[in-house]
Structure 1
Amino acid sequence: MEKSLHCIVSGKVQGVYFRAFVQEQADSLGLCGWVRNLADGKVEVLVQGAEEAQKALTERLWQGPALARVEHVEANHIDYDKSYPGFAIRG
C-alpha cells in the first residue's frame, strides 16, 4: 500500500476558494483523495498518489489561491486503508 499524505493547513484558508484550489492542483498532479473545511477554520487534505506529486502539492498548499494567507502546513505520511478513484471536495 502506498503512503497517503495527510495535511492540515492553517491561516486564512476558508472562504477564499481554497478547497477548489486544492482540487485543481491535485487533479493536475494526478492525485486522488479529498479536501474539507474543519470547524476550527483550518483545511484538511488527504491525498494518494506518486510521492513526487504529493511533495509538489505540499509546496502548492503553502502558496494557496490569491485570496488565501497560509500560515502553516502540517504534512505527514500515514497508512490509510481506503483508496479513492478521484479527488473530491467534502463539506
Structure 2
Amino acid sequence: MANQCRRAMVDGKVQGVWFRGSTQQEARKLGITGWAKNLPDGRVEVLMCGEEQELDRLEAWLHKGPPMARVTGVSVSVESEQEFSEFTTG
C-alpha cells in the first residue's frame, strides 16, 4: 500500500505534558515517520507519513494524547508525500 502524509494541528493543553514525546513513541510503534513540534500559539503540529491504516490509528490517538494532555480539537489535512527516515520531535 502507498504511503501518505497528513498534517495535524492539535489544540488544547498539549504543551508541557509530554505530548510530542508520546506522539513520537506511538508513531514509531506504528512505523510512521515525520515529526511533532510545539507552535508559539500553544498548539502542537504533527506531520505524519505512513500507510493509511497506521495514519488513521495515530490520528485517533492524537484526539486523546497522553494522560496529562487535554485535547480540545484536531484538524487534519492531506499533504504531498515526503520522505523521512524516522519520527522526530522539534
C-alpha separation between the residues in 1 aligned to 2:30 and 2:61? 11
Deviations, residues 53-78 of structure 1 (Å, cap 9, x unaligned): 00000100011111000000001111
C-alpha separation between the residues in 1 aligned to 2:50 and 2:3? 7
Identity of aligned residues (%): 38
The one-letter amino acid paired with 1:87 is F
1:86 and 2:83 are equivalent in the alignment? no
The one-letter amino acid paired with 1:54 is L
C-alpha separation between the residues in 2 aligned to 1:46 and 1:7? 6
What RMSD over aligned residues (CA atoms) do the two structures have, in Å? 1.1
Aligned pairs, number = 89
Runs (4+) off by over 4 Å: none
Q: Which runs of 5+ in 2 are unaligned?
A: none
Find the counterpart in structure 2 of residue 11 from structure 1: 12
CA contact (8 A) 2:4 2:51 kept: no
CA contact (8 A) 2:34 2:84 kept: yes
1:3 Cα deviation from its structure 2 partner: 2.7
User: What TM-score does the superposition give when structure 1 sets the normalisation length?
Assistant: 0.93
Deviations, residues 13-42 of structure 1 (Å, cap 9, x unaligned): 000000001000000100000000000000
Q: Which runs of 5+ in 1 are unaligned?
A: none
**3-state SS of paired residue (2:59):** helix
**3-state SS of paired residue (1:27):** helix
